[in-house]
Amino acid sequence: MRRRGRSRGDRGQVAIEFLGMTPLIVLTLVLMWQCVLVGYAFTLAGNAADEGVRAATAAPRGARPGACSNAALKDLPGAWRDGAEVDCGGTGFVTADVSLKVPVLFPGSIDFPVTVRGHAGAVEEVKD
């Protein structure tokens, strides 16, 4: 037996719910991508500081700051290299500090006012 009072009112409900959830899904993906960029900036800053201090410990004392800065910036992608700051110093125990800006969604576009720092240190090599 068929019910005559029943209408087909729920037809298309899944499509409407999906359209309503789409902005939330897109926002979640954008936030996840931004978190990936922040993590990648931390990785780049730490690696650049390691490379810089490694080059500085092997270089003669007078050439340390230049060797440190060049090595730290060498492997950074262009978008991160533009706003990077490298500070090298120390005698006996050489340190390198690298500061990078975190991009908003796409490297090379707008940067957050947040700076990510990487720090590394190593004992100077003794030369005979």
Q: Is residue 105 in a domain?
A: yes
Within a domain: 8 = no
As for how many domains the chain has, the answer is: 1
Tell me how far apart the alpha carbons of residues 114 and 5 are, in angstroms, rounded to a whole number: 61
Confidence of residue 128 (pLDDT cuts 50, 70, 90): very low
Q: What is the pTM of this model?
A: 0.75
Q: Residue 115 falls within a domain, yes or no?
A: yes
| Beta carbons of 93 and 121 less than 8 angstroms apart | yes
Question: Would residue 48 count as lying in a domain?
Answer: yes
Task: Quote the pLDDT of residue 103.
Answer: 82
2 lies in some domain: no
In contact, 67 and 55? CB cutoff 8 Å: yes
Residue showing tokens 């050489």 = 94
| Assigned domain for 55 exists | yes
Range of the domain at 70: 13-123
Phi, psi of 29 (to 5 degrees): -65, -40
Whether 27 is covered by a domain: the verdict is yes
Tell me if 5 is assigned to some domain: no
Mean pLDDT of the chain: 81
